[in-house]
Structure 1
């Protein structure tokens, strides 16, 4: 247990928890001051950002994480430069495509040009920040990661609240806060990192390897983001913005489970990789796996207990009927947390194509299930779809992971 929990991983976990707590605590303030229409549109924009980020990063963060420790200092600088170059290039291509789509299909009433340009600026800045965050985690710079993760989010929240109180409670207030957070994060990247100035042809080998590695990972990541966001995307398309705003409030406690599982994964995955590599430690893996699943189930139960106090203390009366939705969403995200326990075995065997196939297939199934449930039960159907899809996802990944050779060897030992 002592080898499992190290100080740097605890700080990384703390950074992610604080990063998630800031927008979570901001939701009651935004729901009080913003109209349901603007609040629903904000939710749709934030979901769209999460969908686009993996396409812009294009697996650079994963390639950086797997290659960084194998290089010397100069090689690491070149690697960071190559990964940032790939991210910027991919981001520019996505931004061009988005701009074309905006002027062909979206009217000013749906999304104004001003808000659209802020939106693509947020996407670009967050994609660069994703690569920087991977660099800090893999190098064990947990204190810098804590500053890098929390300070921009806190600035964005303060700026959003200030604009709402002193100027306008409209959508642009929160978008400007997110934009300011992205700018500060990139400034911290420039301040903390040193980059190697090299010619473009010197980047070609690293870029080729990064693209090859990232192809399977980006499909898995993108499909995973769509999987997590499809409930809100479908509600935003086939239901009213008021329903989407209602669901967004109910979603907040579910997102706590999402943050818990993501932070847990930052600690669990390195532990599994190290244990599988060192055969002498394999005997402890079954016990730790049992503890991990039990801990996630316990966390889901505790978060569910917080639903009634949260709605009573923080949520306006107009949204009180969303409390029942929260239980469904928490159940779905708890199941997805169990998926995090078993997915490292698939990564260890480098079966990312299998993982991408699983994620894309289940994403399509989730879309069909959620769409059908929304048509049958309205906004409640989105929560039902999330619960069903989460349980199926966890089950399929477990069945795939249990047959991985590395897991069989570890459990035999």
Structure 2
């Protein structure tokens, strides 16, 4: 079935894509101290916040309407997404210039470095829009080539600026900025030559986009809080040294996220086509795939936690060896996040992104409370406990909402139809 063949391609490209930064760990942990590595991690966190505000997860609109809109309407949709993106870029830069005059640094990062991040976010979002188009076209091979090429270019750029030019932790950001500039040029070329972009300004289309995407801002920010605020709490309550060590553990745990994302990349285009008008047999197929997905990701999380204690000493310096104690909780957290991700398309189909925003915002607030309490009582590992618990709560609430609006046969999936 094409969903599995594409998933295998996405998995292969994702493994190669994630293996490259993973293989860079020996270089980064040798040339950067845990404190500098922690600074880099916080800078990337801020970049993700900019992506949340600027991008608003607008690529979801492409997946949602790709199979049901005409080519001309789809081109207008994508064109207006890019117009919104340009507007948010200008808005954020107007705020950034004010920040530069008020503060010398934010979270131990000089503000003049932060000024580069909105541009990086803009370029990354353009690339994401193009990848979303490719995914919905079913062009898994080209998707994989772009992903892997991007990682290779980032790696080469980072090594040049870190090892040869000796520019410190900022080296990876420079490598990313140059890489995504090149990839965004290709994205613009592909989108224009394939006729996927019409810049005809339309209030109605913008309203349709924002109706789905604006609620995604608190949702994406809430997800960032759940997934990344732990490092801010560690930096404030323990120190940058522990942020660097914890981030190394995250690099291992996120392997589960790679498997989840690879399947979802293939799953969501198929789901958006099949689910809205699906017969009982199709619904049972959806349920079977979902159960199989649950089994695989949790089995992988447990296996990863076991083998990582043998692999970790081979790829990082001794300063980062204590990261092994965090990996089990982070891996399980990514598995729980994977549960939420497979239910996310249901929320989009039923246009209930506002409910999703409420769930994520509520869970994010709990996450902040959990982080403070657990880190205060258990130290750095408390952050991993907090993240796992938050993802569990988020997944349970999302499943509850989905079940309220669907009638999938979760408990009679093996029964056959009776005429």
Q: TM-score, normalised by structure 1?
A: 0.90
Contact 2:230 / 2:387 at 8 angstroms: preserved in 1? yes
Find the residue that maps to 1:403 and give its secondary structure.
Answer: helix
Equivalent positions of 1:2-13 (< 5 A) are: 2=1, 4-5=3-4, 7-13=5-11
Q: Which runs of 5+ in 1 are unaligned?
A: none
Contact 1:345 / 1:406 at 8 angstroms: preserved in 2? no
Q: TM-score, normalised by structure 2?
A: 0.89
Equivalent positions of 1:87-106 (< 5 A) are: 87-106=85-104
Contact 1:328 / 1:384 at 8 angstroms: preserved in 2? yes
Name the structure 1 match of 2:68.
Answer: 70
Name the structure 2 match of 1:323.
Answer: 324
* Inter-CA distance 148–103: structure 2 relative to 1 (3 Å threshold): farther
Name the structure 1 match of 2:152.
Answer: 154
Q: Which runs of 5+ in 2 are unaligned?
A: none
Name the structure 1 match of 2:239.
Answer: 240
Higher relative contact order (CA 8 A, sep 6+): 2
Name the structure 2 match of 1:58.
Answer: 56
Give 1:131 deviation, angstroms.
Answer: 1.9
Name the structure 2 match of 1:358.
Answer: 359
* Inter-CA distance 314–69: structure 2 relative to 1 (3 Å threshold): same
1:298 aligns with 2:299: yes
Give 1:217 deviation, angstroms.
Answer: 2.6
Judging by fraction of residues, say which structure has more helix: 1
Name the structure 2 match of 1:253.
Answer: 252
Find the residue that maps to 1:69 and give its secondary structure.
Answer: coil
Bigger mean CA offset, 366-375 vs 144-153: 144-153
Give 1:82 deviation, angstroms.
Answer: 1.4
What is the distance in 1 between the residues matched to 2:207 and 2:50?
A: 22
* Inter-CA distance 170–332: structure 2 relative to 1 (3 Å threshold): same
* Inter-CA distance 109–221: structure 2 relative to 1 (3 Å threshold): closer
Name the structure 1 match of 2:180.
Answer: 182
What is the distance in 2 between the residues matched to 1:355 and 1:235?
A: 28
Equivalent positions of 1:256-405 (< 5 A) are: 256-273=255-272, 274-275=274-275, 277-279=277-279, 280-405=281-406
Name the structure 2 match of 1:140.
Answer: 138
What is the distance in 2 between the residues matched to 1:134 and 1:400?
A: 26
CA RMSD of aligned residues (A): 2.5
Give 1:210 deviation, angstroms.
Answer: 1.1
* Inter-CA distance 88–238: structure 2 relative to 1 (3 Å threshold): farther
Name the structure 2 match of 1:122.
Answer: 120
